[in-house]
Amino acid sequence: MIRLQGALPERYTDASPDELSSWIGAAKATLGDRLFILGHHYQRDEVMAWADARGDSFGLSKMAAERTDAEFIVFCGVHFMAESADVLTADHQQVLLPDLNAGCSMADMADIDAVEEAWDALAKVTDVERIVPITYMNSSAALKAFVGAHGGAVCTSSNARAVLTWALDPDRTGQAMGDKVLFFPDQHLGRNTGFQLGYGAGDMALWNPRFALGGLDDAEVKAATLLLWKGHCSVHQRFRPEHVAAFRTEHPGGIVLIHPECAHDVVELADEVGSTDAIIRAVEAAPAGSAIGIATEIHLVKRLADTHPDKQISCLDPLVCPCSTMFRIDAPHLAWILEGLVGGEVRNRITVEKDTARWARVALERMLAIT
């Protein structure tokens, strides 16, 4: 997806870290309660230092919805998160993304045209009224709206299990919303959650949007309970079982924490699998002296290592791959956005078109009600 972020003025690109800090601090002080800065856990330290609240994508979306008094929400994260904040906030609130090119490659792997095509193809083979579409938070507002309009919900890495349970009722304790789920865009979160709920590999089929009927035949579509869109996160897909094996050899008795966007062969070797918030909680709960190997984005791992010097914390992938789009948000962009607000100019506002926002809100509110 092309989003155009122009070059910043030299005032910002040539500024020293101290100058940027003093400008950001001054702008924050001037804007006071009119401003609320949200920081996702994968952001750089120079940005997180200014966040009024930090969290995972689920926590941040809730906080954005709750802070009804803030006029400006500056979202230090990626595009889909800012869109969700715009959908959930009131009309008098404006959401700003410091760099418009901070997207998410995984979110871009499922676009609305491809999903609508998939839906039409499925309708020729099976009863789509019984398919519940579930989109991961890492998706455009258009996909969230599609899901909202078709009886489905959004999920995040911290509530995917609850949302899939709601859709399929695997414990048979209530009224299932459907017989099948079309889950996009992250195949790994879908598969890992499916296994957690007791489904087997035979209950899941990979939907490859490049092929007619997702590369499946009619019987495979009919047999599958979970149709998993062929998307992935290039940061989390780097982690391999060999990384876990190497850590365990070096640290017998060590703790392995893995984000559910990693492939299942890695996830099944974990001591704990969870969202960024769950990983943070697990680190906090580990006894002093623990060796902890983590499979998630490097800025969070480094911050955890810095804040827990009594624990030996390392990234499971020695080549430590940062999320290049999260990394786009830096102090110069934050200063540029905030000084714009002080001067009365709203830069990089993220707005979701009204009808799309209405249905995306339905899907997000279903998620909030389920969890």
140 part of the interface to ligand 13P, by CB under 6 A = no
Site size for ligand SF4, by CB under 6 A? 12
Among 56, 83, 277, 297, interactor with ligand SF4 by CB under 6 A: 297
Q: Decide which of ligand 13P, ligand SF4, none touches 57; Cβ closer than 5 to 8 Å per partner kind.
A: ligand 13P
For the bound state, the minimum distance from the C-beta of residue 55 to ligand 13P, rounded and expressed in Å, comes to 7
Instruction: Using CA atoms of 281, 286, 290, 293 in order, give the dihedral in degrees to the nearest 10.
Output: -30
Nearer to ligand SF4, 40 or 366 (CB): 40
Task: Identify each DSSP E strand in the chain by its residue range.
Answer: 35-40, 53-55, 72-76, 94-96, 131-136, 153-155, 180-184, 204-207, 226-229, 255-258, 272-273, 291-295, 312-315
Nearer to ligand SF4, 89 or 139 (CB): 139
Among 93, 159, 187, 276, interactor with ligand 13P by CB under 6 A: 276
Cα–Cα dist 370/167, whole Å:
10
Strands 204-207 and 35-40: unpaired
Nearer to ligand 13P, 81 or 221 (CB): 81
Structure tokens at 222: 């009919």
Residue for token digits 């002093």? 288
Let me know: does 300 contact 326? Beta carbons within 8 Å: no
Sequence-ordered list of residues with C-beta below 8 angstroms from that of 355, at least 6 positions apart, any chain: 145
For the bound state, the minimum distance from the C-beta of residue 81 to ligand SF4, rounded and expressed in Å, comes to 8
323 part of the interface to ligand SF4, by CB under 6 A = yes
Structure tokens at 312: 């030996």
106 part of the interface to ligand SF4, by CB under 6 A = yes
56 part of the interface to ligand SF4, by CB under 6 A = no
Residues between 9 and 68 with contacts to ligand 13P, criterion CB under 6 A: 56-58
Q: Which residues sit at the interface with ligand SF4, rule CB under 6 A?
A: 78, 104-106, 138, 233, 235, 261, 297, 323, 325-326
